[in-house]
Amino acid sequence: MRLSIRSAGLGLVAGLLPALAFAADAHGDAGGGGMPQLRFNDPWMHGQIIWLLLIFGLLYYVMARYALPEVASVLEARRQRIEGDLEAAQEAKGRADAALAAHRAATAQARAEAQSAITTAAQQAQAEAAAKGEALNARLTAQIEAAEGRIAAARDAAMGALRQVATETTDALVSRLIGGVDRGAVEAAVDRELSARAAAGGRG
Amino acid sequence: MAAEGKAIDALGQFELQPFLGPIGEAVRFSQSNAHMLAAVGIISGLMIWGMARRAIIPGRLQAAAEMSYDFVHDLVTGQVGDEGKRFFPFVFSLFMFVLFGNLIGLLPFAFTFTSHIAVTFTLAMVVFILTTIVGIAIHGKHWFSYFVPEGAPKPLLPLIVPIEIISYLSRPVSLSVRLFANMVAGHVMLKVFATFVVMIGGAGILGIFGATLPLALNVVLIGFELLVAFLQAYVFAILTSIYLHDAVHLH
């Protein structure tokens, strides 16, 4: 294709010259007055056309060879830069999305873990508290029982001592009042009186 | 000044003059050619110097260069298709050459080389011969079927084929005369109204007020000519693209 374009250029020059010659001949008699543009036999006109072809050829050469490829490369570079930037932005957005998702998942997991830890701790604390309470109850019950036992023993001991004191006092009083004492009668009276008191105390 | 004497010399501005006296005289280099060279210099400066920074975010000059590139590129590929990319430098050169020829011609003391039928016709012939050679190079003998429209009734062919051939041959004429006539008409009008300004303005106090009317008209005309300068360059380029489309695709 490149070759055919070049041959087209050659043909262009070859084909143009007769056409111009024809144009110049056709209006060859239009010298002098009128429009200066129509004086085709003027040598300045021919010079103008030849120089036009040379200058336009120069413009085409400069444009095709230097200027336009440069513009094309700048536009291409910009297009690539924009595409690259868009891709980078897309990538960054993807990364940000992934990071956000990971963060959300981590938060959810942490929350679940914290919840379960709280629940476990609460249950443990409850169980411990219950165990401690039971142990305390048991100890207190034991202490209460022991104390009750000691109280009962002390009371029994006191009761025993009371009978002896009462018997001896009664014995002394009776012997002082009436002299001579029936020991058995005194003990029976004291027992009777004590049991009556005990019955009254039990009621009270 | 043109207002000397009674006649208004509106055509003297199109006279070819030697550029730089004897130097131009020796090689037949007229002021018209000097303006062509100036146009080439400005276009090359815009496209090469303007793009030299290769900025990602273009400045004004680079934006102008890129805009003209994109404009013509879209025009060519839009008309011719992807095959048109090979002709893009040609159409671009043509468009810019005509555009800057028209624009430079609007400057005071400048010459408008697109107001010469020889120039526009030469450019049109370049386009004509190029499109013909491209058409024959791509399609060979089949190219001549271009003059026989598809689906035309057989009995009418003796009539249609000559019409098609004449319309094909008249392409360079219409292409060149359109640009030439537009530029000549614009510049003749500018010159005539400018001469009115000088003539009326010379007629005392009242004349100075009277001269403002043609002056205002000339201001409007300049704006109009700017539009025409661009429009005619655009028309030249788009018709070239259409012809290239015909050469590449045959209808």
Residue A87 has pLDDT above 60, yes or no: yes
Chain A interface, best mutation among B92, B132, B183, by max A CB count within 10 A: B92
Q: What is the pLDDT of residues A3-51, one digit of tens each?
A: 454 555 445 545 554 444 444 444 433 344 678 888 888 888 889 999 9
The pLDDT score that the predictor gives to residue A36 is 85
Instruction: Kindly determine whether residue A37 and residue B43, on different chains, have CB atoms separated by under 8 Å.
Output: no
Q: Is the CB of residue B115 less than 8 Å from the CB of residue B180?
A: yes
- From the list B14, B39, B44, the residue facing A62 with the nearest CB is B44
Neighbouring residues of B222: CB distance < 8 A, sequence distance ≥ 6: B106, B190
**Cα–Cα nearest to B124, from A16, A132, A203:** A16
* Contact between residue B244 and residue B91 where contact means Cβ atoms under 8 Å apart: yes
Residue of A nearest to B183 (CA): A37
CB contact under 8 A, B184 and A35: yes
pLDDT tens track for A107-164: 999 999 999 999 999 999 999 999 999 999 999 999 999 999 999 999 888 888 888 8
Q: Check B125 against A16: CB less than 8 A apart.
A: yes
The reply to whether residue A53 touches residue B122, judged by beta carbons under 8 angstroms, is: yes
Q: Which of B144, B123, B228, B249 is nearest to B186 (CA)?
A: B228
What confidence score (pLDDT) does residue A1 get? Answer: 43
Predicted confidence band of residue A99 (pLDDT cuts 50, 70, 90)? very high
With b for 16 or more beta-carbon neighbours within 10 A and e for fewer, the B130-160 pattern comes to bbbbbbbbbbeeebeebbeeeeeeeeeeeee
Predicted local distance difference test score (pLDDT) of residue A187: 82
Q: Which residues of chain B are modeled with pLDDT < 70?
A: 1-7, 251
Across the interface, whether the CB atoms of A68 and B40 are under 8 A apart is answered no
Rounded Cα gap, residues B219 and A51, in angstroms: 33
Burial class from Cβ neighbours inside 10 Å (0-12, 13-18, 19+) for residue B89 reads: buried
Q: Closest-CA residue in chain A for B98?
A: A56
CA nearest to B115, candidates B62, B159, B156, B176? B176
* Residue-level pLDDT at A21: 45
Q: For residue B217, what are the contacts with CB-CB under 8 A and spacing of at least 6? A: B193
For the segment A49-62, what is each residue's pLDDT rounded down to a tens digit?
999 999 999 999 99
Residue-level pLDDT at B97: 96
Chain-chain contact of B126 with A70 (C-beta, under 8 angstroms): no
Q: Three-state DSSP class for B210?
A: helix
Q: Taking CA atoms, what residue in A is nearest to B125? A: A16
The three state secondary structure string of B221-236 is HHHHHHHHHHHHHHHH
Predicted pLDDT of residue A18: 47
- d(CA A51, nearest CA chain B) in Å: 6
Q: What would the pLDDT profile of B183-193 be if each residue is shown by its tens digit?
A: 999 999 999 99
pLDDT of residue B18: 85
CB atoms within 10 A of CB B221: 19
Cβ contact, residue pair B122, A68, below 8 Å: no
Minimal-distance CA residue of chain B relative to A3? B137
For chain B, the structural domain boundaries read 12-249
Q: Which residues of A touch B96 (CB under 8 A)?
A: 59, 63
Query: What average pLDDT does this structure show over A177-188?
Result: 80
For B138-193, the pLDDT digits (tens) are 998 888 888 888 888 888 888 999 999 999 999 999 999 999 999 999 999 999 99
| ipTM of model | 0.90
